Each structure stands twice: as structure tokens, then as C-alpha cells.
Structure 1
């Protein structure tokens, strides 16, 4: 069993299939996509001696956690990402570049705030569930005695009775919003403790699956003793994470190809091939780890009658609504008391605010040189018209900046020295229906595996952690075929504190619950 990845004694190891330390003979794999899922798959395969070619359509690695340079020593990214301490598999991937993870720095708190004065904090809480949540509820202004009396207890107890993977299918047909309605939490508590997190999945709670929300609650609140705080990289993602990991991969012999647009994928009895900008590249197997829209395009074109049903399941997936990131370089600093990250509810389209110089080295240098601040605003689950409609996008940016002035009043007098706006609609949405039919890591062809945060995965993982986990799982499937040992997977506990243990059936008997 692998060394325990965190401080939670209940963290669960899912051992990989045993085998040789390295593959025997010459084995090769093509990994399509250079985001977290593709990087995890490429790393896992290369460490077992597989010849890996990694094709990324963009000009840098990181996928939806990429960062890139701008002029004037500024950088831009797709927005703030929290590296929770429960993200065992992502953090194990990053330990390949620094076993101590010294490039991750803790965020002291991430308050959640509403305009009516309600404000919650995660600082200073004990880390062991359920005491962590009980302490949070006891000191939260959102949970009044009257409000707690209205909570629907049977629904609340469901949060303590989860069992994975069953829980995902249990909520088939129910949205996160419907579950929250059934839970009957006080409005303030619903906004601050739950709905803020649902929107962090880039989704309106009415369009987001209840199973995903319940799994999130288990992973971050009630199922793990890693605590409710998180870490962030100490510089932009490219500098802190992906350039060092690329160097590690190159030392392992991985052929990293940037600006490599994959046109098509083919799987045959004797191997596989991809077409990169019209050039055919052969291998023994393919890991499709592209973003959801690109994966649908490529899956649609893979020939083979045996893949017909699978192609349909991939085609049935869909993307989340657009999100918008606005990064502002201000000529005066925000107040020193402002947190590095603030979640918001009730401030129009504004979902959170980050003050980047609090943790990013590059932003800190810029802020010091210009006596200002670098502030980032997020809006999730935006109207579709912000994509391709400059007027709609501009109006949304104006609203976000106006809400920033409400949240941090001192910014109203600050000058904006530079502004970058990013609008994207390439994230996945796990809706209320169709979990069981959603494609997973395996496909009907053993030479083709999938990886990404848009997949069905039986473990309680999501977002970046689901990407990393499925990347390792995809590599493990190929390694098992080739007789090589896989890589262990770690998760938070697979069942809630009140979930009954399954009773193993006697020979010929039926399981009892």
C-alpha cells in the first residue's frame, strides 16, 4: 500500500493491479490533451517505461488550469483554483516535481459573504468530522435556532449516509436546487454553505445533479478530516506547476507536442493511431483526455461498429454555461485586511473575488512595483449571450466591477491600469439525469481509454481531483493489459459516518443491508 497521502487516518487506498515494475518490450501510448488528466496519464505511463507522445492543441500545458504571459510582467489564467488537501491524487502527481509541495501555500481563510451582513469563515475549525461541521454551524450567523428548527432532518441525515459509488445513482433525476429545497436549510445558510459551492462547479444549482452536490458535501465537509481550508500555488500555474512537470516528463522520455491539433483517432486490432495536423502517428493505445467539447468531436469520428453505443453516450454529454474571469491591475492597493479569496452570494453575477498578490509571486512583484493590487473577479453560470456578443460581455464586466466596489469599497476610487477579460464555455456539467449512462474511463475497445473531469467515476472526487484520478485510472487500465503495475488511488472515505457497512454474503447467499 502506498504511503498515506494526508493526515486523515480514514483516507482510503484503492490498490492498483500488481505487475512488473516496468512494461516488458516496447509499448507506446498517445495521450490527447495536456490538461491535468492528460498529464497524470502521461506521467503514470512513462514511469512504467511506456513511450508516450502527449499532444496538446494549445501552446502550453495545464488545460483549464493553464496560465500565460502578458506584457509588462503580467500573467493571466482561467481563474482561481483551490488545491484542497483532499485532492490526494492531484497532489501525488505534483509531488513528482517537489515531494514536499513547497510551492503550495495555505490560504488562512476563505470567508463567504452576503450583502445583508451574513459572513461565514472556515478559519480555526477543528478538522475532524462531524465536529468540524458542528462547530461551523454553532458559530455561523446563518444558522439561527429558528432556522435550524426548520431543517428537514431525514434529508440532512442523507448527507451522513452516503456510500460510493451508489450515492451518485441514488439521486438520479434530482437537481442540486431540488435537494436544497428539500433540505430546508435557512436561506443564508443555503447560500453561504452550499449554493456557493454548487456554482463553483460552473453550474446553476437547478441544472446541477444532486448526487454531485451530496458527494461534494461529503468530500469537503463531512467525510474528510483534512479540514475545510486549501492551498494555492505560490506563483502562476505555468511557472509553479506545469513547466516543472513538463521537465520531469521530458526526463522520462515523453514527447510533448504543443500546438498539436488532433484531427482524428483510429483504433485497430493491432494498435491505434491519431492524425495530428494531417500527420499520422501510430501507437499501441490512445488516452483521450481532451476537454469535453473536443472529446465529443473526436469520439464522433472514431470508426468501429463496436463503439456505436459508446459514441452515443459521449455525444449525450454537454457543457456548463459560460463563465467569465476579469483580472484588474489597480493603481492603489486594496485594504490590507482583505482576504486572499472571498466567496460571495447576493452580489449580482459576482461569485468570488481573489487578491492575487496575497499568494502569487508575479502578482506580488507587480503590485509592489506599481503600488497597487491585482484583483480577479469570477462569474459562473452566465447567460449564453456573453459568448460571442461583445456588448453582453462588456455589460457583465461592468456589473462585476460595480459589485467589486460594493464588496471592497476602496476599489471604487482606484484606477484600472490594465484589464483582461476571459469568457469560456468549455467546462463540463454533470446534470440531474444520466449518471449511469455517462461514459467512464473504459471504452468497448481496450486500446482506447478516457480521462477527464467530465467522466463518470465511482469515487468521491470532482473537478481537478476527478481529472487527476481518471488520468491515473486510464493509465492503470493500459498498464494492466501490458502486465505492469499500476498506481494506487487514494480518496476520502467511501461511505459516510452513518452509512451501514455492507454485509458480505455467505457462499450462495444474498447480501443484506
Structure 2
């Protein structure tokens, strides 16, 4: 009898999802083009190249990392697309990072990430035990935003849903219901609603009434009520490119992958007859032939590239319908400031906020990023990042661009002013500090997990032989989200191809699929 696999984290009840069985390496030469060099694309390319597949990874930007990309600026400064939390539930992402950093030495713990409301009430997660149900009970007892008197107003059946989930059924249970509607019937006290739930919903770059309740409940299970990994997380000790993606870039090159950054894919050509290759046409006019394609781009690009494929039958026509039904979330904004003085020493390295206008969090980067710390030491100032998750001019017309300083329909000057005003309210000492440098980024390439039918969302598999999808906008029937969903879908995309070629795939681990009230919660799969 083979020994029981050892879970990858502290949660002894994590669930293993075995990859396909087969030979250690592909037995015939196989060529795969992976389109998109974000987490999903890197994960797919890594699993494939380790099993002898000839991989070409094509990324439009000059660096890998996708929405977790970082790039250099003048004066030894860097910029990124915003702060990301590397939770300890991210088993697949962490496994990927271990390829280049076996002990994860470049991930450092954040001791706490308080969530503060505009009225001053603040919740801390550092004091919570990591495992359910003790974490939930302690939160209710200790949270200033959840007075015990508020328990009487909570709708008990809705609250029980948070600890009585079962996947994948729990995804479909909420078809047609928004996170806002679920929060309304849950009837948590207002403070707890904002800090414990709504802030998480906005981390998906969406307003709660556009965001699916099933995704919210799944996230609550994955991070809080269903996992013993706890709510605290780690962050890289330098910019993402330096310590995460460039080392993985080198790892892929060392194993024979062809990694092409700064290269755009123009379109895809599906095989016209049995045995013909896929054709991936690049913007420079070159065409790459492949046995298979992993499409791991942002949702809009995926819809554009796959949408041009001809639909020969009902299955392909239905798939195109489901693919075209996807939508992107509203724009998000990242404002990074290099100040001429220091934020007070007692301030949190990372603070989530609610009720401070557009501001969703504040990060003091020199507290953990080596490059920001060097700049701070040399110039005597702090490097502060402000994030606005869902800047939606359709909801707030004052944010709409007037043609003068707009980007993606957003009035940049107005957003900047409002974010700075909120920063000065949250950390008052910053009002007296001058801005020596600044970078403001507006992007709108995140997929929206809406209220439509869960089963209608595209999956890794497609009706086109040799074409698979990956990315955090792709449906997975397990409770995974954000960066972890990107990594998981990348592995699953590689596994689907490897299984068809008789090669061994890679196991995936997740938090338990059953809530704490469910019998058989820890049954292995």
C-alpha cells in the first residue's frame, strides 16, 4: 500500500485531486504554444516542459507575471499592478513558486492586515485561531464590528450556508443571486458586513451587486470557515519580477522552453484536417505550429482570439455563446507614491479600508520590498501604494473622463485627488509630505464573476481538440479563487493535454470541499 500523500500546508484535511496517470514524460515529440505569461500560463508551461513537451510561451508584455507583473522605472524604482496577498491556502501557486525558490524564502509573513471602516472601527485577524469553527466564534466574540447584540438580527439559515457548503454544488446554488443580495438576507451588522464580506467582494474588482453570491460564499469558505491555514498571508520581499517571475523565467529556459516576451499573438488557426497542426500567428508575421494551444490570456483577449474560431457544430456553437457572455469588471486604479518623508512607524504595512471614498487599501512598501526599502533609506521617504478596486464611472458619473485626462473612461485627475484625500484621512501625517515621484495605473482586464449560471462559464476543456483555457476567469468546481485559481487552471490545462498523450500529470490540492457541518468533510478524493 502506498503511503498517504502529505498535505502541502498546515491543514491536515486538505484535499488531493490526483493528476492523470501515465509515463513520466511524453513518449513522442509534442509542441505546445502557451499564449499568456501570467500565473496560469507559467503554471501550464512549467508542468508541460517538466514532462518533455516542447513549449513556446508567448507574452505580450516585456515581463512575465500578467496581473502580478512588475517593471522597472528610472532611478532604481519599480512599479506593479498592485498589491497581492499570497495566502497559505494557495497550495498550487506555492508549489509553482517552489520550482525557483524551494523554501519560499522570498515570501515573508505580514503580521496582520487590519480592516478599517470610515467610522474608525477596526478588525484584526492576527488574534484569530487559524482553524474553523474556533476562528469564526472568536471573530464574533472579539470583533468591534460585530457586537453580540447584533447576533439577534442575523438570519440564521443564511449564516449556516457559510459553514454548510459542498462543492461543486454550492457554486450552482447561488445562480442568479448577487453578493449584495446575499449580504442583505444574511443581515450581519453593518460594520461586519463591510469589513468581513464586502471588502472581500471588492477584491474581485466588482461592486457586490454585480458579483455572484456563489463566489463570495466560496471565498468565505476557502479563506475562513473551511480552511485551517488561517487568514494571514505572505508577501514577496522584493518586486514581483525580481523574486518571482524572472527566476521562473530562468527555470523554464533551463528546461528548454522558448519564452518570448514583448510578443503579441495576432490570431489562432485551428487544424483544418486530421493531423494538421494548430497555427498561432504572431504580430510580427511569424506563425508557430503546435499540437496544442493553452490560451491563458486575460478574459477579453481570450474572447477575441477564441471568438474567431469557426463553429462547426452545436457543441462549438454553444461554447462560443458561453464564451461571448463573459464580461470584464470595472477598471481598477493603482497609485504609487514616493514621498519626501516617512509614514509613522506604527502604521500597518497593509491596511484594508471601507468607507473611505474610492480607497480600498494602503500599502507601505518599504516595510517588506527590498527595492522600496533601498529607496527609502537613500531618500528618507516612504513608498506608499493606494488601490481602488472598482472605479466605475457608470455608478459614479463624477469619475467619467471628459476627454482631457481620461484613461479607460476614467478621469485620472479626479481619481488621484480623491485617493490622496483618503490617504490623508487614514494616515494624517502624509498630508504634510510632498510627492517626489508618482505612477498611476488604470486597467480593466479582470474578468467579472457575475450572477449568471455557474455551469455556463467556460472551463479548461473546450470543444476544439488541442485547445485548452487557463486563467482566473476560467471555471473550476473547487473552492479556489484569484491567483490560486489562475495557478490551478494552468495545471489542469497541462494535465488535460498530458492525459491525452499518456503522460503523468500533476496533483492539485485544495481546501476541504465540504463545510464543517457536512458529514464526510474530509473524505479523500
Q: Same fold (TM over 0.5)?
A: yes
Q: In the alignment, which of 222, 225, 242 is matched to residue 219 of structure 1? A: 222
Which piece of structure 1 moves more, 463-472 or 272-281?
272-281
Are residues 296 and 80 of structure 1, via their aligned partners in 2, closer, same or farther at CA, if it must alter by over 3 Å? same
Q: Does 1:347 align with 2:353?
A: no
Which piece of structure 1 moves more, 120-129 or 468-477?
120-129
Task: Give the drift of 1:107.
Answer: 0.2
Task: Give the drift of 1:300.
Answer: 1.0
Q: Does 1:272 align with 2:291?
A: no
Q: How does 1:106-185 map to 2 (within 5 A)?
A: 106-185=109-188
Q: In the alignment, which of 439, 445, 448 is matched to residue 420 of structure 1? A: 439
Task: Give the drift of 1:193.
Answer: 0.6
Are residues 328 and 273 of structure 1, via their aligned partners in 2, closer, same or farther at CA, if it must alter by over 3 Å? same
Q: Does 1:95 align with 2:98?
A: yes
Q: Does 1:394 align with 2:400?
A: no
Q: Does 1:492 align with 2:511?
A: yes
- Distance across 1 between alignment mates of 2:278 and 2:318: 20
Structure 2: 5+ residue stretches without partners: 394-398
For residue 269 of structure 2, give the secondary structure of its aligned residue in structure 1.
Answer: strand
On the 8 A contact 1:310/1:444 being kept in 2, the answer is yes
Q: How does 1:32-111 map to 2 (within 5 A)?
A: 32-111=35-114
Please name the residue that 1:453 is paired with. 472
On the 8 A contact 2:22/2:502 being kept in 1, the answer is yes
Please name the residue that 2:300 is paired with. 293
Q: Does 1:284 align with 2:291?
A: yes
On the 8 A contact 1:386/1:423 being kept in 2, the answer is no
- Distance across 1 between alignment mates of 2:222 and 2:148: 26
Q: In the alignment, which of 353, 365, 368 is matched to residue 374 of structure 2? A: 365
Which piece of structure 1 moves more, 70-79 or 265-274?
265-274
- Distance across 2 between alignment mates of 1:14 and 1:458: 12
Q: Return the TM-score normalized by structure 2.
A: 0.94
- Distance across 1 between alignment mates of 2:151 and 2:348: 29
Task: Give the drift of 1:149.
Answer: 1.1
On the 8 A contact 1:322/1:386 being kept in 2, the answer is no
Task: Give the drift of 1:382.
Answer: 0.7
Please name the residue that 1:193 is paired with. 196
On the 8 A contact 2:180/2:208 being kept in 1, the answer is yes
Structure 1: 5+ residue stretches without partners: 505-513
Task: Give the drift of 1:251.
Answer: 0.8
Which piece of structure 1 moves more, 249-258 or 271-280?
271-280
Please name the residue that 1:507 is paired with. none
On the 8 A contact 2:140/2:148 being kept in 1, the answer is no
Q: In the alignment, which of 392, 396, 402 is matched to residue 383 of structure 1? A: 392
Task: Give the drift of 1:501.
Answer: 4.1
Q: Return the TM-score normalized by structure 1.
A: 0.96
On the 8 A contact 2:201/2:207 being kept in 1, the answer is yes
Q: Does 1:15 align with 2:24?
A: no
Task: Give the drift of 1:265.
Answer: 1.0
- Distance across 2 between alignment mates of 1:452 and 1:489: 15
For residue 31 of structure 1, give the secondary structure of its aligned residue in structure 2.
Answer: strand
Please name the residue that 2:396 is paired with. none
Please name the residue that 2:502 is paired with. 483
On the 8 A contact 2:38/2:64 being kept in 1, the answer is yes
For this pair of structures, how many residues does the alignment match? Answer: 503
On the 8 A contact 1:348/1:399 being kept in 2, the answer is yes
Q: Does 1:320 align with 2:334?
A: no
Task: Give the drift of 1:310.
Answer: 1.4
- Distance across 1 between alignment mates of 2:279 and 2:215: 35
Task: Give the drift of 1:5.
Answer: 0.9
Please name the residue that 2:340 is paired with. 331
For residue 351 of structure 1, give the secondary structure of its aligned residue in structure 2.
Answer: strand
Task: Give the drift of 1:499.
Answer: 2.1
For residue 154 of structure 1, give the secondary structure of its aligned residue in structure 2.
Answer: helix
Q: Does 1:463 align with 2:470?
A: no
On the 8 A contact 1:324/1:379 being kept in 2, the answer is yes
- Distance across 2 between alignment mates of 1:64 and 1:169: 28
- Distance across 2 between alignment mates of 1:147 and 1:139: 13
Task: Give the drift of 1:173.
Answer: 0.4
- Distance across 2 between alignment mates of 1:133 and 1:122: 11
- Distance across 2 between alignment mates of 1:390 and 1:169: 42
